[in-house]
A and B are shown apart, each in its own frame.
Chain A
Amino acid sequence: NAGVTQTPKFQVLKTGQSMTLQCAQDMNHNSMYWYRQDPGMGLRLIYYSASEGTTDKGEVPNGYNVSRLNKREFSLRLESAAPSQTSVYFCASSAPGRSGNTIYFGEGSWLTVV
């Protein structure tokens, strides 16, 4: 039962470096999401993808790009990392069901930009 798998779990970047966070889900969900979690601020949506081939900006998209490679995979790219992007990043996926649009989360990626 893999669910939502994201890599890497931990990463330290220097300001200006680029990196890609990978995410894959095996639940055949159409919708996928990237959130960031900062202390005292809950989770904020960066980008989401309602289906393969589509992506939309969320609440805090600046400084990020995404790719919905196929139904399973949704990657998040930081082209030029900044200290303000130090955060915990969560990938998630969802599908409509009895409990509404239940979202399933990955275990998180801890990113530090120095």
Chain B
Amino acid sequence: GEDVEQSLFLSVREGDSSVINCTYTDSSSTYLYWYKQEPGAGLQLLTYIFSNMDMKQDQRLTVLLNKKDKHLSLRIADTQTGDSAIYFCVRAFGNEKLTFGTGTRLTIIP
């Protein structure tokens, strides 16, 4: 089946960079997304990357895609307390089906 794996927890000091990693088994993705879920809230789209791209940068966020290794990462520069959340790696194939990773809970250490 299609698996998307993430580490469950990550702790980072305020001001440092956070790197959240994701690996997947099926290479037939069209888009890969990062969603953010704050406590008690729904998921919000943070950023995305087309499967034919290697990198995308959006302000403090950098997404890197290594198609050969089936590895996706999200780097958050200058991590702030407001970045505390669960981050989901999501891959899409076709028009309807998304596969979610387990989510990585990012904790910011003051």
B19 within 8 A of A: no
Contacts of A101 in B (CB 8 A): 31, 92, 95-96, 98
Are A105 and B100 in touch, CB under 8 angstroms? no
Q: With CB as the reference atom, state the residue of chain B lying closest to A40.
A: B102
Are A42 and B42 in touch, CB under 8 angstroms? no
Q: How far is the CA of A43 from the CA of B97 in the complex (A)?
A: 12
Contacts of A105 in B (CB 8 A): 42-44
Contacts of B100 in A (CB 8 A): 42-44
Contacts A40-B102, A42-B102, A43-B100; A100 near B92 (Cβ below 8 A): yes
How many interface contacts (CB-CB < 8 Å) are there between A and B? Answer: 54
Are A100 and B48 in touch, CB under 8 angstroms? yes
- Complex interface bits, A31-49 against B, C-beta within 8 A gives 1, otherwise 0: 1000000001111110010
Looking at chain A's contact residues, is the secondary structure mostly helix, strand, loop, or mixed?
strand
The residue from A42, A43, A50, A90 contacting B96, defined by CB atoms under 8 A apart: A50
Contacts of A103 in B (CB 8 A): 45, 98
The residue from B33, B40, B48, B88 contacting A42, defined by CB atoms under 8 A apart: B88
Are B96 and A106 in touch, CB under 8 angstroms? no
CB distance from A61 to the nearest CB of B (A): 14
How many of chain B's residues have a CB under 8 angstroms from any CB in A?
23
- Complex interface bits, A77-114 against B, C-beta within 8 A gives 1, otherwise 0: 00000000000001000001001111111111000000
The residue from B8, B40, B88, B95 contacting A96, defined by CB atoms under 8 A apart: B95
CB distance from B11 to the nearest CB of A (A): 17
Q: How far is the CA of A103 from the CA of B41 in the complex (A)?
A: 15
List A residues at the B interface (Cβ < 8 Å).
4, 31, 40-45, 48, 50, 90, 96, 99-108
List B residues at the A interface (Cβ < 8 Å).
4, 8, 30-31, 33, 40-45, 48, 50, 88, 92, 95-98, 100-103
- 10 new A-B contacts, CB < 8 A, other than A99-B33, A105-B43, are A41-B102, A42-B103, A45-B97, A99-B31, A100-B50, A101-B96, A102-B48, A104-B45, A106-B42, A107-B42
